[in-house]
Structure 1
Amino acid sequence: MATTAHAHGFWDHCGFDGATGWQTFEGMDATWKGKYVRVLDGEERYFTEAYKDGSGCAHGLLYNFTLGLWEEKLTPICGNSGFATGWTMWESHYLMDVAQRCPAFPRVRASGIQIYTVSAWPALTTSNSTQLGPYGLCWTNGTYNFSVSVPNSDWTALTP
């Protein structure tokens, strides 16, 4: 994207077709939101699922409310990477210097993060999850706030 924008994507860590990178990266415009977003408990939400099949291939799905089904957005990736399953994040990669002046963005939150085990979806714990904090000047200088309301399960990124 040429400017700061709200987007959703699936990243390929294994090098699908020989190169790592975004396999799916979509702007979250009104059309996208009409398919994938619904307001629940007063906030806009969308649902993703990432899993490995019996062959060890990773899949990425996004729930399409219009069609009433899980839509595969990540071509199955078969191979090894440094990530066992996946992650949630809010990317502020380009907010690394004072010149950016730490722009305001809407609140971003991940909640109810779970991992699929043989037959269930338990919440993440310290045994199957790690917490990596946000980086960049806007976070470290205290302008932005990153909070974890439920360890390994819920986080919120707040900007001014």
Structure 2
Amino acid sequence: MKKKTPTVFIVGTNHTIRMLFDGRGIAVVQKIKDASFIQFTGGGDISPQFYDQARHEKTYSQEKRDFVEATLARLLFKDKIPMAGICRGGQLLNVLCGGDMWQDVDGHKTTHRVYAKDTKKIFRVSSVHHQLMIPTKKNSKTLLVANETTWTAFPASLYFD
């Protein structure tokens, strides 16, 4: 029996994210119904209204995009469709799972290492977000960790089950 090729529908900007999947044998599809999982991508900050905080002076969000993508994620959640988030997408899924955000972290625009919990590999990544996810353990799975000693474990990808 031939193994089914994973498929992904990308929500948001996909020019560089598409390359991530193309090089790993994951087909990018144009319709959500054809996808085995949904990938939310990067962008601006998530509006603080999604996690009950006042807006920080350095927070830049796109409320219309937040609303559209949050609505989509909630519908997918009801249908138990796997979802993952990179950067802003991870922040969106984090707050929809009941997580919180730290709106402005000093010195966070840098290159640093992250540790993959499942493969035990270390990767260098660039972080340009000035925000920090504070995840809840409910409905999320931490895949990558950055600087555990300062409690900055974050969900690089979330799966609703």
What TM-score, normalized by structure 2, do the two folds share? 0.29
Report which of the two has the higher share of helix: 2
Q: Which has the higher contact order (CA 8 A, sep 6+)?
A: 2
What TM-score, normalized by structure 1, do the two folds share? 0.29
